[in-house]
Structure formats: C-alpha cells, structure tokens
Amino acid sequence: MTCRAWCLVAAVVALIASPVRAADSLTDVLDPYFRIQAQLADDSHATTKADAQAVAKAADALGSAGQPIVTAANDLAATTTLEAAREAFGKLSSAVIAYADTTKAAVGDHVSKMYCPMVKKRWLQKGQTVKNPYFGKEMQSCGTIEKS
C-alpha cells in the first residue's frame, strides 16, 4: 500500500473514531456536571469546586471546541457563594449545551434539556422531573422540558 493510501485510510479511521471519542469525553464532562446540577437544585454547593474542576479537566480533552466549557467550569470552581455558583452554572450549561449541539455529541439516555423562564437559562439534567438549579428548593419545579 502506498503512503498516500495509508494516509487516506488513517484519515477515514480518524473521522469515524472522532465522534466516539467526543461522546466518551462528553460523558466525562457530564458526570460531574450532573452532580453540580443536583447540588444546586438542593441548595448546596459543597463539592461544586471539585466537580467543576473535574468538568474543566475533562473538557480540556475535547480540544479547542471544549475551551468555552473549560473557562466556564473554572469560573464556577472559583465561586464561593451559592448565588455565584448558580450564576456560573448558567454559563457552564450554555457552554455544554452549545458544544453538544455543535458537535452532535450524545448527552446520554434519559437526559433532558430544561429551561427556566424566570432566569431565562437552560440546563441539562437526568430524567424529566424538573429540578431547577437556579432557584433550588424555593422553586424547584420551575421550568419546562425543551428536549428529552
């Protein structure tokens, strides 16, 4: 096989394998992301710093397309109050959703895209029972399912 043929085969394999790697890496982003979402919905931010750092590390593996996630996750990791964590989570959610929409990366089974009309922000969460991270227990069911 010629060098040109090998290069063509390598390029095809890379194109086919890329979505799988992106999906695997997005799972690494989403696992700690979902922990953050659940904590904020429960009026807590006890481990958001560690989880946000895990999101940033996993998103860094996504390359340049993942950099908005890295930036938003680092901003979240730097917060010290529940209110600030919720604000930063909105930016992180926007970055994660934009990445998934742009790359068509799978977000997993039983994941819903939610929308809070009060703060006009979206988030991803497991399941279809609204658990609003922006208002927590005060208005936990505020929101709608945009896509399941």
Whether residue 84 is contained in a domain is answered as yes
Which residue range(s) make up the domain with 37?
3-107
Q: Return mean pLDDT, the chain.
A: 88
Whether residue 144 is contained in a domain is answered as no
Whether residue 11 is contained in a domain is answered as yes
Whether residue 136 is contained in a domain is answered as no
pTM for this one? 0.83
Model pLDDT for residues 73-114, shown as the tens digit of each residue: 999 999 999 999 999 999 999 999 999 999 999 998 899 999
- Structural domains in the chain (count): 1
Q: How are the residues of the chain apportioned to helix, strand and coil, as percentages rounded to the nearest 5? A: 65, 10, 25
pLDDT at 1: 58
37: number of Cβ within 10 Å: 24
Whether residue 128 is contained in a domain is answered as no
Whether residue 135 is contained in a domain is answered as no
Query: Which residues of the chain fall short of a pLDDT of 50?
Result: 5-22
pLDDT at 2: 58
